[in-house]
Every structure is written in C-alpha cells, then in structure tokens.
Amino acid sequence: MNRVLFALMGLIGVVAVGTGLFVFGGPGTARAEREDQDRLMAVNDLARAISCAYDTAVLPEAIGVTSFSDACRPTNLRVSASQLMAGGLLTYRRLSDHRFQICVIVHDLGRSLNSAPYSDMTAGPEGAACLTRDMQG
Amino acid sequence: MSQKEDLSLFVREALLAGRPRPEIAEVLVVAGWSQGEVDEALSAWAETPFAVPVPRPRTVVSARDFFVYALTFVALGIAAFHVVWLGFLVVEMLWPDSDGANYWQAREARNSIAAILVAAPLYAWLTVRERRRLAADPGLYRSAIRKWTTYVTLLIAALVFVIDLIVALASFLNGELTGVFVAKVVIVAVVSGVLFAFYLRDTDRG
C-alpha cells in the first residue's frame, strides 16, 4: 500500500468535511435554517390567506390570523403565524388599499432569499425577509 | 465433475505417467479442446521435476473476499462521489460572484458530509485491515475478487479523469470556461487521479 497516497486520500476527505462544515454550518445552523423555513412558510400562508380574504376588499390596517373565515384560514402551518406575530417576529403592514407587506425576522437572510420558494421575497429592515403583494382591487 | 476438472485430472495423470507436455497438448487439441484451454490446463502444473506433478498456485474466489472487497468498493464509491459533490457545493458557495447558498445546497452539503463521515472511515478501516492480512499472507494477493475490484476501480477512475478532461477542453473550445467550472474540473481530476494512482500500485502484485 502506498502510504503517502492513502494519507492523501484521507487528507482530501478531512479537508472536504472541514470546509463543508465551516462553509455550510453544522446542526445548529441547520436548526436555525429549519426555523427560518417554517417562518417563511408562515409568511407565504398568511399572504395567501390575506389574498383570499381581501381579494377585492380594502385591506385593514392590522390583521390577526383568527380573523379569517374557514375558507381562507391557513391550515397546515408548522409554525403559527399568530405565534410569530405575538412574538414580534412577523409583522403585517398595509402599504395601500390593495397592497400589503409581511416581514419576518430570520436567522440567515441571505440563505432565505436565495432559496427558490421564497425568491420573491426581499430584504427588509433588521434582517427581515419581506413579501409584498398587490391585490386585484 | 465439471469439464475443466476432467481436463485438469487428465493433465495431472498424463504428467504422472511421464508423457511429455507437447504430446499431452496434441492429444487434447485433437480431442477438441481449444489451444487456450490446453495451455491453461498445462500451466496449472509447474515444470519442476518431481515424483508427482507440482501444482501452481491458482487464483481463489471466496464469499468472504466478495463481502470485504465489495463493501470496500461501495464505501470508496460513496466517499469519493460525496467528496466531489461537496467540493462542487463549496466552490459554488465561496466563488466571489456567488449569491451564497440556499437551503437546498446547505442540506445537500450536510448530507454529503454525513455520507463521507460514515463511508470514508469504513473504507479506511477495511483497507488497512485487508492490507495487514495481505502483508501477513501474500498468497491472498491471488484473490480473483481483489483483482477485479482493483481493475474496476482503476477503470472507473480513469474514465472519470478522461471524461473530466474532455468536458474541460470542450468548454474551453466553446468559450464557456469559467472560474467555477475550472475549480470543479480540478476537484474531479484530483479525486480520480489520486484514486487511480493508489490502485495502480496494487496491480504490481498481480
């Protein structure tokens, strides 16, 4: 056995794993990413619910998740939008009669905005990911 | 008894009876055996003069060898593939004009890390253990399965290396060569090249 080449193979593996963990993060980063994904899904679900409930109506100044009818209420949420709103992580903002914005604080804004299902979101203040929607009016 | 065993037994008895090798070969060819089969059957016995024919060592095939070498081969394949894949993801992430990773890439990278963390130590342990056995008993170098897995690994490593160079050259000629692409080509070339060099040394022992 060529010990130098065998050691080189081992070194390549160690460098790959070390660099991978350094660049992408370990279990802690992964847990934070999952939390971020849940929050972004909550934003999407809430935006869909608002679009459903206020499709042609004028948007309210403030909104609560409980105020939706059954037909528009988001169902399979992993993280309740109302919990996020109560914790100050998720905010709704009425921009005009038929335009609104929902922002959510995330751990890693860059990675959130790079991920395909949330690519229509933009960077908001204080590391928040924001989704802006226009209603038909 | 199989036909090969019949042939081997016939050659042994003919040598025992003191018949010269060319004569044995001739009668076997006349009987319908191919020249290759005859040569193989005769080469199984050493030409050392002795009271009885002296058998030459033969390649051996065992279920244990299949288990060990197939597992080593698969572990190496998993580790090598994921090292390359993880390298690609790291390059995409770190390249200056990169937008950064997304959730999918981060998840893929961690999956690859998990695969490497399991497959690479398994491969290393199996390889070191097997090399110790080979050092203690060089007769084990005659394992047919060891030879096959060595040459299949060499073939795959060589093919990957060649295809990598072709793709790189094609991209260069088509004016599509980017920094990220070159980095990926280098990763594939390094991994396949090191594996090829490592296993090429194994062929020295047959």
Q: Judge residue B190's burial from the number of C-beta atoms within 10 Å of its C-beta, 0-12 exposed, 13-18 middle, 19 or more buried.
A: middle
Residue among B113, B194, B201 minimizing CB distance to A12: B194
- CB contact under 8 Å between A1 and B201, yes or no, is yes
Question: What are the pLDDT digits (tens) for A22-72?
Answer: 999 999 999 998 888 888 888 888 888 888 888 878 888 887 766 677 677
Residues 83-112 of B with CB under 8 A from A: 83, 86-87, 89-90, 93-94, 99-107, 109-110, 112
B91 Cα to chain A: minimum distance (Å): 10
User: Measured between CB atoms, does B114 come within 8 Å of chain A?
Assistant: no
Question: What are the pLDDT digits (tens) for B48-98?
Answer: 888 888 988 887 788 999 999 999 999 999 999 999 999 999 998 888 777
Is there a domain that residue A15 lies in? no
User: Measured between CB atoms, does A123 come within 8 Å of chain B?
Assistant: no
Is there a domain that residue A104 lies in? yes
Note the pLDDT of residue A86: 73
Report chain A residues whose CB lies below 8 A from the CB of B194. 5, 8-9, 12
Cα angle, residue B108 at apex, residues B105 and B114 outer, rounded to 5°: 145
Is there a domain that residue A51 lies in? yes
- CB contact under 8 Å between B113 and A9, yes or no, is no
Note the pLDDT of residue A76: 58
Mean pLDDT for A16-24 is: 94
Q: Judge residue B63's burial from the number of C-beta atoms within 10 Å of its C-beta, 0-12 exposed, 13-18 middle, 19 or more buried.
A: exposed
Report chain A residues whose CB lies below 8 A from the CB of B89. 20, 24
How would you write chain A as a 3-class SS string? CCHHHHHHHHHHHHHHHHHHHHHHCCHHHHHHHHHHHHHHHHHHHHHHHHHHHCCCCCCCCCCCHHHCCCCCCCCCCCCCHHHHHHCCCEEEEEEECCEEEEEEECCCHHHHHHCHHHCCCEECHHHEEEEEEECCC
User: For chains A and B, what is the number of CB pairs under 8 angstroms?
Assistant: 87
- Specify the higher pLDDT residue, A124 or B15: B15
Mark the ranges of chain B whose per-residue pLDDT is less than 50.
Answer: none
A70 Cα to chain B: minimum distance (Å): 32
Binning pLDDT at 50, 70 and 90, where does residue A79 land?
Answer: low
User: Measured between CB atoms, does A6 come within 8 Å of chain B?
Assistant: yes
State ipTM: 0.76
- CB contact under 8 Å between A111 and B190, yes or no, is no
Residue among A17, A37, A114 minimizing CB distance to B99: A114
Note the pLDDT of residue A75: 65
**Which one of B82, B110, B117, B123 makes the best mutation probe of the A interface by having the most chain A beta carbons within 10 Å?**
B110
Is there a domain that residue A9 lies in? no
Is there a domain that residue A92 lies in? yes
- CB contact under 8 Å between B120 and A19, yes or no, is no
Structure tokens at B141: 């170098």
Per-domain boundaries in chain B: 3-55, 63-205
Q: By residue range, what is the domain housing residue A40?
A: 35-134
Domains: count for chain A? 1
Is there a domain that residue A14 lies in? no
Note the pLDDT of residue A10: 95
Is there a domain that residue A81 lies in? yes
Note the pLDDT of residue B190: 96
